[in-house]
Amino acid sequence: MASVERFMRAIRVSEFGKPEVMKLLTDVPVPSPKDDQVLIRVHACGINPLETYIRAGVMMKPKLPYTPGTDASGVVEEVGKDVKTFKKGDRVFTRDTITGAYAEYTVASEDTVYHLPEQLNFKQGAAISIPYFTAYRALCTFARGKPGDLVLVHGASGGTGIACCQVARAYGFKVFGTASTTEGLNLIQKNGAHKAFNHKEKDYMEKIQVSEAAGGEGVNIILEMLANVNLSNDLKILSYGGRVIVIGSRGTVEINPKDTLYKDSSIIGMGLYNATKDDWKEMAAALYGGMESGWLKPLIGPEYPLEKAPQAHEDIIDKSGATGKMVFVL
Ligand code: NAP
């Protein structure tokens, strides 16, 4: 007997452009998992700046039409015949999907799906992948820091910044973070930062530099969320041998290269999508350590229904005053 086709609500993008190109359809067929794939009923989905760049057509350019999103969290509905790690009913989160995560159901390859521990809810599950894998890779793999080093999370109040603060604190770093509102400054201090600075204040970089915790030697590592604005100033507050890890940038910036040779300092770019299979394994092991011991606790900020996808994309780029991770709740 032929199986009955089921339909779902999902965001579809048929042309690249402004947020309004994201349309909520109600008649998208529920996808079927192939042999090594998992079908997930999505309960929450992370909203990441990356999805806005892809939708605008400036990065990656998937084949149209497509459903955005990589970071889903929910319950396994069906598994392909070769899937060994998951069964129907398992709580899971993804770091990538095949059919898109801004949808009621998504299909993902088994190797991009992870069990969601009981202590985290679905919204938190949707806030793990891009933020925490990025935080771990930037700090532990690329920055090559050691416990006791001073890390500045430059842009600490958003999804990735909070993750960076938690990872840095858990691994024994001294942690400074920046935000632009009183609420953001309080949140980052509750999530790992020893000290918080307001990046809208004119002299905040001087305050960081002269801070007692910086010990007059400067900042060892800067995890930078907005390099096009901050890179030149970052180089001036680094310690000898200091590193800026560029995580986010939205344009060009002028720097004085001499600022690097004065101090043997480095600027290092980090793109999570370049991670290898072995990198993913190492990162996941570290993050499970955090989930099991309790330091990995995503902070959820604004929540949206799927129909507000265009608004969510505007807010994540244009609105300041971040308070944690933006998510869709389905
Ligand atoms: P988000 O949740 O929108 O947070 C943006 C952060 O930037 C907020 O903390 C915001 O603080 C802060 N910010 C705004 N103006 C700033 C300034 N002048 N100086 C320093 N920080 C400032 O986004 P997210 O998920 O955390 O991602 C942050 C960036 O990293 C994005 O550009 C994203 O594309 C990039 N990213 C890259 C990778 C990668 O693989 N390289 C992975 C993840 C993220 P206020 O709102 O308080 O002002």
pLDDT greater than 70 at residue 215: no
Q: How confident is the model at residue 203 (pLDDT cuts 50, 70, 90)?
A: very high
Contact of 299 with 174, CB cutoff 8 Å: no
pLDDT at 210: 78
- In 3D space, the residue among 82, 81, 76, 57 whose CA is nearest the CA of residue 68 turns out to be 57
CA dist list (Å): 272 to 21, 37, 43, 114, 243: 26, 22, 24, 17, 18
Residue spans of beta strands (DSSP E) within 172-230: 174-179, 195-198, 219-224
User: Is the shortest distance between the CB of 178 and ligand 1 below 6 Å?
Assistant: yes
Average pLDDT over residues 167-172: 98
Q: Is the CB of 17 under 6 A from ligand 1?
A: no
Give the pLDDT score at 217.
85
68 lines ligand 1 (CB under 6 A): no
**Phi (first) and psi of residue 237, to 5 degrees:** -105, 5
Neighbours of 275 (CB within 10 A): 18
- Residue 190 CB burial class (10 angstroms; 0-12, 13-18, ≥19): exposed
How far apart are alpha carbons 250 and 268 in whole angstroms?
16
**CB-based contact 177:165 (threshold 8 Å):** yes
Question: Are 222 and 234 contacting, i.e. CB atoms less than 8 angstroms apart?
Answer: yes
pTM: 0.97
User: Taking residues 91-110, what's their average pLDDT?
Assistant: 98
Cα dist from 283 to 83, 236, 312, whole Å: 22, 31, 28
Average pLDDT (38-60) is 97
Cα separation, 94 vs 107, whole angstroms: 10
Q: What tens digit of pLDDT does each residue of 24-34 get?
A: 999 999 999 99
Query: Ligand 1 pocket check: which of 225, 230, 317 to mutate, most ligand atoms within 8 Å of Cβ?
Result: 225
Residue 209 confidence (pLDDT): 85
Whole-Å CA distances, 86 to 10, 39, 110, 140, 223: 24, 10, 8, 29, 35
How large is the average pLDDT for residues 92-116? 98
For ligand 1, the distance from its centroid to the CA atom of residue 225, given in whole angstroms, is 4
- Check residue 211 and give its pLDDT: 74
Give the pLDDT band of residue 189 (cuts 50, 70, 90): very high
